[in-house]
Amino acid sequence: MTRKMWGLIPVLNCSQLLKLCAPQCKPSVCPITTPALRADSPLRTMSDQAFVTLATNDSYAKGVMVLGQSLRNHHTTRKLVVLVGPHVAEPCRDALRSIFDEVCVVDVMDSGDAAHLSMMKRPDLGVTFTKLHCWTLTQYSKCVFMDADTLVLSNIDELFEREELSAAPDPGWPDCFNSGVFVFRPSNETHEKLLAFCSENGSFDGGDQGVLNSFFNTWATADISKHLPFIYNLSSIAIYSYLPAFKQYGHDAKVVHFLGKVKPWHHSYDAQRGEVKGHSPSPDLCQLHPDYLLMWWQLYAKSVLPLMQQAYGDTPFSSGFVEANEDEEVKLHEDAREQPAPASAPPPQISSEERKQRWEAGQIDYMGADSFANIERKLDSFLK
């Protein structure tokens, strides 16, 4: 029914789309506590369990800091561990150390062990091997891995009641789990098996998600308790592909996952106006939920930027902030400049059938025929 509905109607302008939602499914912005409150809280007793994340470069390190701070703000009782690749700058590592209990540098090329050998066979899977390194954290009995592009909206310590390998369905192929959030048990044996599997079989999608789904290949059918509810890994793409479900369940979301090529740190932020900049009519640049995106930046501005400023001192770094008077020429972060620029020519007139085909192929005319004004009338008639 949903597919049929989406085939019939033109498409939503995403930054305005969420205005259609009931107020309860809009995320509210929580007050943010300072990092100083975290230390030695009596609540923090579960020292053999940890949330684990990964920063492969300085941009992802920003995401990791926001994620770590969001876990702190919701009073996790577990340890926070970040794996960092060799390219993460020293000041970034310093800032990470003030949020995380452990900052582990992982350089697969230097490791001289099974991981290095696997890497030699499959150099294309370097980031994947770095991520698989989380299984070697055997000082912990159980961990929850979370991608750098996730944001926690409430306490999720209950995830530690789950077993390896628990994860939420992937919105693109729900018989696969999404590897942005998963529960696992560190084990050197599992780590070696994963490496061997990875170097022999590669990855069907080129990344860790393909490897992990092939390795833990009974996830879809064997044990429903290993299926995390979708609210533990809510991705923007799912919001826009099934809006009525988001209206119904979105207010329960506990973890947001900024899936896709463009990440929150590719945008910029006008701190004086409290606005995220860099919105674009290009679908690629438009898939992040504007309210969650704002929450990410507010957390970054309040709790992460001061740590970065302290760590970098007089050394310049990319803060992601814009001056209020730079309105007309918004400066995007360097990474965002690498993204293809949205086409500026006005779209030609096309038939309704052709527009439907383009929508189904992901080519969406957000500013024209598929604009908010056009869609709202249609959607109202469906959703009354």
Among 10, 68, 85, 180, binds Mn ion (CB under 5 A): 180
Min CB(46)–Mn ion separation in Å: 25
Span of 111-119, 130-138, 180-188, 358-366 interacting with Mn ion by CB under 5 A = 180-188
- Chain centroid to CA 354: 33
Q: Which range binds Mn ion by CB under 5 A, 44-52, 74-82, 86-94, 144-152?
A: 144-152
Q: How far is the CB of 298 from Mn ion (least distance, A)?
A: 20
Nearer to Mn ion, 149 or 370 (CB): 149
In terms of CB distance, is 58 or 149 closer to Mn ion?
A: 149
SS3 268: strand
User: Is residue 147 within the footprint of Mn ion (CB under 5 A)?
Assistant: yes
Name residues contacting Mn ion, limited to 232-251 (CB under 5 A): none
What residues have CB less than 8 Å from 302, skipping those under 6 apart? 32
Supply the minimum distance, in Å, between the C-beta of residue 110 and Mn ion.
26
> Which position among 149, 170, 270, 370 is part of the footprint of Mn ion (CB under 5 A)?
149
Q: Which stretch binds Mn ion (CB under 5 A): 22-30, 174-182, 313-321, 351-359?
A: 174-182
* Closer by beta carbon to Mn ion, 58 or else 147: 147
Find, among 61, 70, 56, the residue nearest to 95 by Cα: 61
The Cα–Cα gap between 107 and 370 comes to: 46
Residue with tokens 């770094």: 317
Closest approach, Cβ 84 to Mn ion, in A, equals: 17
State residue 170 phi and psi, 5-degree precision: -80, 135
Instruction: Identify which range of 3-11, 177-185, 295-303, 376-384 contacts Mn ion by CB under 5 A.
Output: 177-185
DSSP string, 367-379: TTTT-HHHHHHHH
SS3 315: coil
Give the interface segment with Mn ion, choosing from 28-36, 101-109, 172-180, 295-303 (CB under 5 A): 172-180
- Give, for 4, the enclosing helix (H) or strand (E): helix 2-8
Helix (H) or strand (E) holding 52: strand 46-55
C-beta of residue 217 within 8 angstroms of C-beta of residue 211: no
- Shortest approach of Mn ion to residue 55 CB, angstroms? 12
DSSP 88: S
Task: Find the shortest distance in angstroms from Cβ 144 to Mn ion.
Answer: 14
Say which residues have a Cβ less than 8 Å from residue 23's Cβ, sequence separation at least 6.
none
Nearer to Mn ion, 147 or 170 (CB): 147
Q: How many CA atoms lie within 13 A of 169 on its CB side?
A: 13
Nearer to Mn ion by C-beta: 180 or 278? 180
Binding-site size, Mn ion (CB under 5 A): 3
- Is 295 or 322 the residue whose CB approaches Mn ion more closely? 295
Whichever of 180 and 250 has its CB closer to Mn ion, that residue is 180
Smallest gap from Cβ 259 to Mn ion, in A, equals: 6
The H-or-E segment that residue 257 falls in is: strand 255-257
> Which is closer to Mn ion, CB of 6 or CB of 296?
296
Instruction: Report which of 116, 119, 115, 100 is spatially closest to residue 61, judged by C-alpha positions.
Output: 100
Q: Which residue, 149 or 270, is less far from Mn ion as judged by CB? A: 149
Q: Output the six-digit token pair for 330.
A: 């918004």
| Closest to 292 in 3D by CA, of 260, 315, 340, 339 | 260
Stretch that binds Mn ion, among 137-145, 178-186, 212-220, 269-277 (CB under 5 A): 178-186
| Residue whose beta carbon is closest to Mn ion | 147
What are the backbone dihedrals phi and psi of residue 166, each rounded to the nearest 5 degrees, phi first? -105, 135
Q: Which residues bind Mn ion (CB under 5 A)?
A: 147, 149, 180
